[in-house]
Structure formats: structure tokens, C-alpha cells
A and B are shown apart, each in its own frame.
Chain A
Amino acid sequence: MELIIKAVVIGIAGAVLTLVIKRTNPELSTLLTLTVCTVIVGMSLKIFSSVTEVLDLIELESDFSSAYTAPILKCVGIGITARIGSDICKDSGQEAVASGVEICGAVCALYVSLPLIKTMLRMIGELA
């Protein structure tokens, strides 16, 4: 509960500071935005270990191989990273760069999915 309050406080403080600095030094404000995002995401990673514990438990109970869940987790990570990166670029006024980041994220996500897609196609072949 305290984590979200801390994150909100840091976020609001960072946003206000960024607004102040942007008029005089836009480059520094972008860096400040990146730093604040990194700090907030870093703070949430602290409790993410509990989430991964639950995911491990689900894998154990459902007899599900980690080969299936690892691509999903990687996709989530890629999605969050790509979104933050693209939004920072958009905040800096670089829409084209933002789009490039999003497309790269999608391609990376597809890349990590390939082994699983191959496994599924092989299974369908065995069934037939």
C-alpha cells in the first residue's frame, strides 16, 4: 500500500520538476522523466518477486512447463519496456521514434514467441 503512495508522490514530483525544467532545459527534462520512470518501475519490481512466486506455484499445480510461461513473461517485460520507451519519445516530441520503438517491441515479442508456436505446430502434427 505504501509503495503506490510513494510511486504517486515521486511521479507527481518528477512531473512537476520536468515541467519547470522543460522551459529552460528540455534535454534535462527528458532525462529526468527517464530517471523517474526507472525509479518507479524499479520500486514495483521489489514486490514482483511475490508475483513470480505465485506464477511458479501455478506452474507446479498445473504441471505446466516453464518453457510455456517464460515467453509470456518475456512478452510482458518487452511490452512494458517498449511502452515506456515510446511514451518518453512522444513526450520529447519524437513520434516517429516512438513508433519505431513500438514496432521493435512487437518484433521482439514475436521473436520470443517463435519456439512456442513451433511446439504447438509440432503437437498438432502429432495429433493428426
Chain B
Amino acid sequence: MTEFASAWVRAIAGAALICAAASALTPKGKVKNVLKLLCGVVLITAMINPVINQEFPSLSMDISEYRRQADEITGSAEEKENSLSRTIIEDELEAYILDKAESLDAKLQSVEVSVKWGDEGCWYPYEVYLTADIPQMKRKLISNSIEAEMGVPDERQYWSGDEG
């Protein structure tokens, strides 16, 4: 399209130059009037000629394609948000368990919480991995607390370490 415009511009400019020069050279009289008519014809021809064979670009205004792109972007953003949210929730739950163990006078060496995506549309704790050298009684207390407050049953709590 730019080449077409460039050609059109050159055609009009060229025609105008030639007509102007001819008009300046021709002395006043009846012939000059005919020349003016001829110059008008040449200019109209210069303007119309390139347009006849030119194909103009089509403008696509299909919003559904852009909606699809937008849905892809928001979907990807949601996935990233879920991933970040998962990390934060696991960290918070681990911190909570460590605080709870400390309040029961038990020291845990490490806690790892694994969350799962639930039907309610959020993460919930699924498994807990605990490492501690504490007596069985304290382990039981901590396990009961985890089951009551986090909904993780005993069979999904995995202990390692010596039962002091």
C-alpha cells in the first residue's frame, strides 16, 4: 500500500509539474484555455489511473479471536497465582505447625506440608511430613491437633525421627 501511495504521489506531482510548466510557457489566448482543459484531464487521469488496479487491505475486526487470546492470558495468570498461593499457604501451614509444637513444648526438626486443590476452589492441606526426636505421647498430641485444626487425618501424617 505504501508503494501504491508513493507511485500515486509521484504521478500527481509529475503531472502537476508538467502542466504548470506548459501553462507558464503558453502565451495568453484561446489556445491557453484549451491547454487548461487538457491539464485538468491529465491531472484527473493521474489521480484515477493508479486507483483502478489497486487492491485495498482488509481490516479484520473479529473480536472473538482477541477474547480467546485474553482468556489464554487470564488463564495463565490464574495458574501462576495458584502456584504462588500454594507456596505461601504451605509455608504458613508449616509455620503454624511449628508454633503449635512449640506451644506443646515439643521441638520439631522439620515440617513439610503438601496441599491439594479441592472442590471448593482452593488449596487444602493433604499430607504432612514431620521430623522430630520426641516421645510418642507428644507426637500424638501434635497429630490430634493437626487433624482437628487442619483436617489432615492420622494416616496422612508421616513421622520420622527417634521416639525419645
Contact = CB atoms under 8 A, between A and B. Distances in A.
B37 A72 contact: no
Interface residues of B, number: 34
A62 B11 contact: yes
Contacts of A75: 22, 26, 31, 34-35, 38
A59 B31 CA distance: 24
Contacts, number: 108
Given A62-B10, A126-B52, A68 B45 contact: yes
B2 to A, nearest CB: 15
A103 interface: yes
Interface of A: 51, 55, 58-59, 61-64, 68-69, 71-73, 75-76, 78-80, 82-83, 86, 102-103, 105-106, 109-110, 113, 116-117, 119-120, 123-124, 126-127
28 contacts: A59-B14, A62-B10, A63-B10, A63-B14, A64-B11, A68-B15, A68-B45, A69-B18, A72-B22, A72-B38, A72-B42, A73-B22, A79-B26, A79-B29, A80-B25, A80-B26, A80-B27, A82-B30, A82-B31, A83-B28, A86-B29, A102-B31, A109-B34, A113-B34, A119-B45, A120-B44, A120-B48, A127-B48
